[in-house]
């Protein structure tokens, strides 16, 4: 009998006093997503771009929406929205943040971070960046960033351009990148054609392979590099077994910096005696967004006096163009 009553009680529906009082007896159903509900708005492109318009004006903002194939809606940095015709946008570049310099003012991005006076730093040119450089009114060269990590340089001695025989041509390749915070590494080589004054005549092809490290930021950096000269063709000049370069630059203001470069030939004796051959240079750099020039002195350790050093650099393609 007790077993029969137990079964009967379990089978009999119970009146829920909470339900009778108007409460909720059953647990709330699990949350489900209505597939028919409208999708949330597509996430805005967070990248910032600089748009150059047909009338020469520039806008900086984020792309909100591409309207068909003819228009684009952008949000400016002040929050206002503009709709533009693609036909009115001449170019679109990735926008680089301004920076506050050591003097508390706004500084432009340093376009000359990849080179000191002659020797390169281990900081790379970005894809599409480049420059033309004229040193001592004698050496003309141009460099271009093929990718964000690979750049090439071609150049010549200005007087030998008129010889049209291949003398004085220069070519270089640099592979560089950032391997840690404010630490960059680079490797590459440079070759030059020179007259061969031996009995065989013709041209000599000499060069140097190098590797280097750069520490710091574009406006405050130190580069230590080493290389080994070599000869590929023609006479074998006494180039020594090694070359060390210690160079650096320090930006004082948005428009002024100091650059130093020191070349040390450990296996070569100084012409002044009493040590190894070394060449030292110190210059003031005038910096502009589109060009820079250096003016200073260069001399050989152990020899009296110094020679003036002057060079000009024109920066081209200082921002990456983005396909529209």
Comparing 200 with 275, the larger pLDDT belongs to 275
Backbone angles phi, psi at 9, to 5 degrees: -65, -40
Q: 141 pLDDT exceeds 90?
A: yes
Minimum mean pLDDT range among 120-124, 239-243, 278-282: 239-243
Most confident of 8-22, 69-83, 213-227: 213-227
Q: How confident is the model at residue 198, as a pLDDT? A: 62
Position 323 scores a pLDDT of: 59
**pLDDT score, position 318:** 55
Query: Looking at the predicted structure, is the pLDDT value of residue 10 above 70?
Result: no
Residue range 242-246: mean pLDDT, rounded: 93
Average pLDDT for residues 158-172, to the nearest whole number? 85
Quote the pLDDT of residue 242: 86
What is the C-alpha to C-alpha distance for residues 198 and 179, in angstroms, rounded to an integer?
45
Question: Which is higher by pLDDT, 7 or 180?
Answer: 180
Query: What sign results for the dihedral spanned by CA atoms 48, 52, 54, 57?
Result: positive
Q: Estimate to the nearest angstrom the gap between the alpha carbon of 13 and the chain centroid.
A: 77
Domains, the chain, with CATH or none: 49-94 (2.30.30.100), 102-316 (2.40.160.40)
pLDDT top residue among 290 and 179: 179
Higher pLDDT, 45 or 179: 179
pLDDT (tens digit, 9 = 90+) per residue, 25-53? 444 444 444 444 444 445 556 788 888 89
pLDDT tens per residue across span 43-80: 556 788 888 899 989 899 999 999 988 999 999 989 89
């Amino acid at each position: 009998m007790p077993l029969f009553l137990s079964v009967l009680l379990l089978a009999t529906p119970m009146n829920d006093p909470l339900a009778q009082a108007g409460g909720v007896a059953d647990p709330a159903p699990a949350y489900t997503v209505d597939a028919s509900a409208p999708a949330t708005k597509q996430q805005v492109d967070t990248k910032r771009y600089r748009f150059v318009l047909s009338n020469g004006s520039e806008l900086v903002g984020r792309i909100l929406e591409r309207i068909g194939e003819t228009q684009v809606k952008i949000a400016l940095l002040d929050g206002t929205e503009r709709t533009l015709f693609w036909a009115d946008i001449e170019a679109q570049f990735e926008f680089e943040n301004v920076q506050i310099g050591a003097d508390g003012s706004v500084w432009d991005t340093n376009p000359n971070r990849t080179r000191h006076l002659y020797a390169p730093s281990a900081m790379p040119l970005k894809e599409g960046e480049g420059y033309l450089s004229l040193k001592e009114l004698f050496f003309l060269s141009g460099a271009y960033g093929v990718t964000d990590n690979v750049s090439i340089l071609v150049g010549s001695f200005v007087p030998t351009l008129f010889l049209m025989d291949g003398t004085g041509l220069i070519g270089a390749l640099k592979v560089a990148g950032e391997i840690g915070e404010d630490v960059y590494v680079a490797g590459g080589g440079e070759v030059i054609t020179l007259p061969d004054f031996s009995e065989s005549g013709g041209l000599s092809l000499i060069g140097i392979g190098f590797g280097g490290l750069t520490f710091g930021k574009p406006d405050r950096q130190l580069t230590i590099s080493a290389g080994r000269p070599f000869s590929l063709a023609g006479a074998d000049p006494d180039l020594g077994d090694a070359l060390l370069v210690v160079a650096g630059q320090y930006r004082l203001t948005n428009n002024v910096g100091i650059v130093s470069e020191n070349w040390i030939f450990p296996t070569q004796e100084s012409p002044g005696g009493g040590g190894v051959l070394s060449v030292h240079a110190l210059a003031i750099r005038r910096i502009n967004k589109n060009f820079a020039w250096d003016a200073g002195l260069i001399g050989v350790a152990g020899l009296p006096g110094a020679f003036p050093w002057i060079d000009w650099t024109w920066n081209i393609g200082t921002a990456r163009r983005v396909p529209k």
